[in-house]
Structures are given as C-alpha cells and as structure tokens.
Amino acid sequence: MAIVDKVFSGDTLRVGYRFQRHWDNSMAYAFFCAELGAGLFFVSLLMGSVTGMIIGLLPMLGKMYFHLAHMGVPMRSWRAMLRPDRSWISRGLLGLSAFTGFGLLLLGCLLFGDQLGVAADSGIVAVLKVLAGAFCIVTMTYQGFAMSHSSAIAIWNSAIMPLSSFLYSLAVGSSLALLIMSGAQAAALSENLAMLLLSLFIMQLMFLHAGWHGSPGARTSVELLLQTLYTKWYVGTTLVVGIVLPGLMMAFAAGKPLVATLAAMMVVAGFMSWRILIFKVGVYEPIMSMNPFHKA
C-alpha cells in the first residue's frame, strides 16, 4: 500500500497510524548537543587535545537547556535519575552527570596541575581519563538505547538506534576535531572520518532495509522518509550532504583547511537532519494486531 493510501488517525478514535509527538524538536536538539559534545570530547581525549575537550563540554549546557525546556515541571527533572534499574533515561542522566564531572576534574588537572601539584602523567590523571572516557561513551550511546527500548514505535525498537548514536557522535566529533588538529593527527583523523562516514552510510542502508521489511509501523516510517515531504531532507541533507559528499571530500581532497571546514559543516548538518527526522517519522504500531488497511 502506498503511503498516500494509509490512514493517519491523529487524535481521533479511528484505527490507524499515530505519530509520536512526545519527543519532538526540543529533544532532538538535546540529543544533538549531547552526542556532538561527547563525540568531540572523546576524540580530543584520544588525540590529547585539551582545547577540543574544553569545547566538547560546552554543548552539555545546550543539552541541559533543551531537556529542561521539554520538561513539564523542570524543578522536578532530577527525579528522572532515580530509576537506573529500569530506565535508560535514568542511566543516561547519571552517566551524563558523571561525564561532565570527571571531564571538568580532568581539565582542571591538565590546566592547573602545576599549581595543584598534579603531574600530567600522574596516576590521578590517568584514572580521570579512564572515567571521563567511559562515561563519555555512555553519553554518546544512551539516547539510542533509550529510543530502542520503545517497543511501541517499531522504527526505534532496534539495535541500530544506539549504533547510530555512537557512529554519528564519533563522526561529528572527528569532523570538528579536524578543525583543531594539524599535521599527522589531522591526516589520521581524515582517514578515520572517511571510514566513519562509510560506516554511517552502511548503517543507513541497514536502517532502511530493517524498517522496510519490518512491522507495518516500521515500514510506514521508512515510507515517510522516502515518499513524502521528508524525503528531500533525508536523502538530500542526511545522506547526500551529511555523508556522501564529506566522505568523498575526505577520501580524495583531505588535508586542506577549507575542505575540512566544509566537511565539518556538512556532517553537522546531516546529523541535525537525522536527529530531527527520526523523531518526526516515529509512528506507533496500529492498535489492532491485524492490518486494518488490507484490501481484498
């Protein structure tokens, strides 16, 4: 059945597909800020760039703002951390808090270690690097796990969601770190970014294949991406601008500051497009187990 023939019941009592709208643009921006910042911090940590780590922590402020903007009662938002045994949101917020805390402590030791009597190669700094890196990975992935935990929205209910969070976080972080690095580090990052973008393209193909051959709700979400007004954003921005073009640039024209800047802008734009679209096309499975749209 073509997407134009499907019934979207909205807030009516008709049987049909209903869009999820609980998580919308404000949450997309929050996810974007967290994964962008954590990815830049993680790559910078591996490359030894204090500047990159400082910049990577700044988007956490955006993450907090957009999360609070989404909350109905922001003053009670701390309660979201009280169920780590049941909720990926709780685990993620605890991980995010730990990442920010250990990240700040690490930066304090690296920037002011001489005054504090803490050497850059000391055991304390090594432990802080491990802890900050570990909780940074939690921040890079937990939002994908939170989405995949939703069985009612089939297109999210997949291991592809945490994988996409991790890959996008690494790709965006690498593209931004490329603007800071130079010499051998920049060359290595260019090669890694090209491979990450290839991995993202394969991940997108896996995502489309799984959704198209999945449940009615998952297939409907894919049809929304490929057959509606969202298509130009998904194909044009997420795939072509955000993955294909910067991938080709890294593969054949890396090493130039202008190329690195354009590639970073494209990857960030593609990531933002993906973050918004994946919420827009989320539909709940039909209430009835049978397909009410089948025509004899």
In which residue are the tokens 């591996």 written? 46
| pLDDT tens, N- to C-terminus, the chain (296 residues) | 566 556 566 555 555 678 777 788 888 898 999 999 999 999 999 999 999 999 999 998 888 777 666 665 555 555 665 666 566 667 777 888 899 999 999 999 998 877 877 777 888 999 999 999 999 999 999 889 988 988 889 999 999 999 999 999 999 999 999 999 888 888 889 999 999 999 999 999 999 999 999 888 899 999 999 998 999 999 999 999 999 999 999 988 888 889 999 999 999 999 999 999 999 999 888 765 444 444 43
Q: In degrees to the nearest 10, what's the CA dihedral of 209, 159, 99, 178?
A: -30
Give all domains of the chain, ordered by start, each with its CATH number: 3-284 (1.20.1630.10)
* Distance from C-alpha of 240 to C-alpha of 18, rounded to nearest angstrom: 29
Cβ atoms of 214 and 168 closer than 8 Å: no
Give per-residue pLDDT as tens, 30-85. Answer: 899 999 999 999 999 999 999 999 999 999 888 877 766 666 555 555 566 566 65
Measure the CA angle with vertex 269, ends 102 and 26; round to 5°: 65
Residue 293, pLDDT score:
47
- Asked if 57 and 173 count as a contact pair (C-beta separation under 8 A), the reply is no
pTM (2 d.p.) = 0.87
Burial class for 87, CB neighbours closer than 10 Å (0-12, 13-18, 19+) = middle
Report the pLDDT value the prediction gives residue 294, as an integer from 0 to 100. 47
Contact between 292 and 286 (Cβ < 8 Å): yes
Question: Within its chain, how far is the Cα of 280 from the centroid?
Answer: 15
Computed on alpha carbons and rounded to an integer, the radius of gyration of the chain in Å comes to 21
